[in-house]
C-alpha cells in the first residue's frame, strides 16, 4: 500500500514495516502535529514498530563541523551496506516555534541515495514532547528498515541532552580554536559522551585538545561512563556494570580522515552494550524515562487547562494569587486529587 493521505496512522505504520518511505515521512509528520489527538494516534501506531539496530547521537557546539562530519559518518555506514536514517533536531526555537536548521544539514552527497532517509525536527519549545517525538521517529525508521540512525543536535542545552540520550552511542564533537576548551569540564560534556571526536584535526591545537579531554577522563573515571550514569550508581554497583572509557579520536569530516577508527569505536561500544544484563537494564531505564517524558508533558498540558478560570483547579490558583493558600499546599492538593 502506498501512502495517499487518507490512511490511519496504524495503516501508515504497517506500510512502514513494508519499506514505504512515503508512509514513514507522513507518520513522522503526524508525530510532530500540534493536534494532540493526531499526534497521540501516531505515537500509538509508532510504538508497534521496532527500534533501529544502532542509534548514534552526534552533538557538539555550533561551528564544530557536525554537518560535514555527519555526511562522512553516513558514508561510512553506507559503505558497510547499512540503510541509514538521520534525525536532525533543532531544540533552539522555544518562542517562535520556527526551525533554525537552515542549511545546517547539507548532506548533498546522500540526498539522492535511496538507502538514506533525512528528517529535521523542531521542538516548538517542548523538551519532553521533543524527546517523545524523536523516540517515536526512531521506531518509524527502524520499522522502515533503516538499521543505523543518527540523531544530530546543536549541542546547546538540556533539551538536546535528553534527546541524544535516546542514542545507543553518543559522539561528542569538539574542535580546536572555538575558545571553549577551558569550559569543557563545566558543560557536563564528559557525562554524555561515549566517543569524543576532535574534528578539524589539521588545525593547530587539535592534539592539545585531545590530550586535555583524555586527561579529564583519566581524572574523573567514575563520571565518564554514560551507561553507568544513566542507570544510577546503586544499580550499576549492584549489577556490576563494567566501565566504558570514551576514546578520543582525531578526525576530519572535510578531509575524510579517521573513518576506520570511528567505525571501530562505535562497533566496540555497541558490543559493550550488547551484554545481556546491561542491555536489559538499559532497555528498562529508557522505558522508564520515556514514561516520565510523556506523562510529564500530558499532565502539564491538562493541569494548565485545569488552572485556567473555570477549570477544575481554578480555585487553587485564585487562592494562591490572593495569598490565602501557599503554593506547596496547592501542589499537594493537586497531586492528591483534592480541589
> Do residues 218 and 190 touch, judged by C-beta distance below 8 A?
no
The whole-angstrom separation of Cα 267 and Cα 69 is: 18
Kindly state the percentage of the chain with pLDDT values over 90: 55
DSSP bridge pairs for 257: 252
Domains defined for the chain, CATH in brackets? 50-277 (3.40.50.300)
**Could you report the per-residue pLDDT of 167-209, keeping only the tens digit for each?**
999 999 999 887 655 455 545 677 789 999 999 999 999 999 9
Q: Which of 151, 145, 148 is nearest to 133 (CA)?
A: 151
The whole-angstrom separation of Cα 278 and Cα 82 is: 25
The whole-angstrom separation of Cα 105 and Cα 96 is: 21
**Could you report the per-residue pLDDT of 250-305, keeping only the tens digit for each?**
999 999 999 999 999 999 999 999 988 899 999 999 899 888 888 888 898 899 99
Helix-, strand-, coil-residue percentages of the chain, each rounded to 5: 50, 10, 40
> Do residues 78 and 110 touch, judged by C-beta distance below 8 A?
yes
Q: Which of 125, 117, 124 is nearest to 151 (CA)?
A: 117
pLDDT for the residue 115? 93
Q: Which helix (H) or strand (E) holds 70?
A: helix 66-79
The angle, 0 to 180 degrees and rounded to 10, between the axes of the packed helices 259-273 and 276-306 is 90
Report which of residues 286 and 89 the model is more confident about: 286
pLDDT at residue 157 above 60? no
pLDDT for the residue 338? 77
258 phi-psi bin (left φ>0, alpha ψ -120 to 50, beta other):
left
Mean pLDDT of the 213-232 span:
82
The angle, 0 to 180 degrees and rounded to 10, between the axes of the packed helices 127-143 and 9-16 is 50
- If you search the block for the grid coordinates 539496530, which residue do you land on? 53
Report which of residues 52 and 225 the model is more confident about: 52
Burial (CB < 10 A; 0-12, 13-18, 19+), residue 252, is: buried
pTM more than 0.75: yes
- Pick from 91-100, 128-137, 138-147, 294-303 the range whose average pLDDT is largest: 138-147
Q: Mean pLDDT for the chain? A: 85
pLDDT at residue 102 above 50? no
Amino acid at each position: 500500500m502506498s501512502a495517499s493521505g487518507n490512511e490511519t496512522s496504524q495503516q501508515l505504520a504497517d506500510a512502514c514495516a513494508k519499506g514505504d518511505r512515503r508512509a514513514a515521512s507522513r507518520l513522522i509528520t503526524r508525530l510532530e502535529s500540534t493536534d494532540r489527538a493526531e499526534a497521540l494516534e501516531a505515537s500509538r501506531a509508532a510504538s508497534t514498530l521496532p527500534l533501529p539496530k544502532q542509534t548514534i547521537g552526534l552533538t557538539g557546539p555550533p561551528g564544530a563541523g557536525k554537518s560535514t562530519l555527519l555526511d562522512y559518518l553516513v558514508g561510512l555506514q553506507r559503505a558497510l551496506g547499512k540503510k541509514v536514517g538521520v534525525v536532525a533536531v533543532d531544540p533552539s526555537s522555544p518562542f517562535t516555534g520556527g526551525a533554525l536548521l537552515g542549511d545546517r544539514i547539507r548532506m548533498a552527497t546522500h540526498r539522492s541515495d535511496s538507502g538514506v532517509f533525512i528528517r529535521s525536527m523542531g521542538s516548538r519549545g517542548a523538551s519532553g514532547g521533543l524527546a517523545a517525538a524523536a523516540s517515536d521517529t526512531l521506531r518509524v525508521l527502524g520499522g522502515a528498515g533503516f538499521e543505523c540512525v543518527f540523531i544530530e543536535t546543536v549541542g546547546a542545552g538540556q533539551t538536546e541532552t535528553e534527546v541524544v540520550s535516546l542514542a545507543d552511542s553518543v559522539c561528542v564533537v569538539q574542535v580546536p580554536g572555538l575558545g571553549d576548551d577551558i569550559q569543557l569540564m563545566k558543560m557536563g560534556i564528559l557525562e554524555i559522551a561515549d566517543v569524543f571526536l576532535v574534528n578539524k584535526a589539521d588545525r593547530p591545537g587539535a592534539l592539545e585538545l585531545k590530550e586535555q579531554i583524555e586527561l579529564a577522563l583519566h581524572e574523573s573515571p567514575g563520571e565518564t561512563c554514560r551507561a553507568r550514569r544513566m542507570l544510577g550508581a546503586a544499580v550499576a554497583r549492584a549489577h556490576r556494570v563494567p566501565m566504558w572509557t570514551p576514546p578520543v579520536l582525531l578526525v576530519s569530516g572535510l578531509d575524510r580522515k579517521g573513518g576506520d577508527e570511528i567505525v571501530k569505536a562505535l562497533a566496540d561500544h555497541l558490543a559493550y552494550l550488547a551484554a545481556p544484563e546491561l542491555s536489559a537494564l538499559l532497555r528498562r531505564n529508557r522505558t522508564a524515562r520515556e514514561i516520565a517524558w510523556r506523562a510529564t508533558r500530558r499532565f502539564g498540558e491538562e493541569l494548565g487547562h485545569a488552572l485556567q478560570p473555570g477549570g477544575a483547579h481554578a480555585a487553587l490558583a485564585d487562592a494562591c494569587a490572593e495569598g490565602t493558600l501557599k503554593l506547596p499546599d496547592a501542589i499537594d492538593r493537586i497531586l492528591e486529587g483534592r480541589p
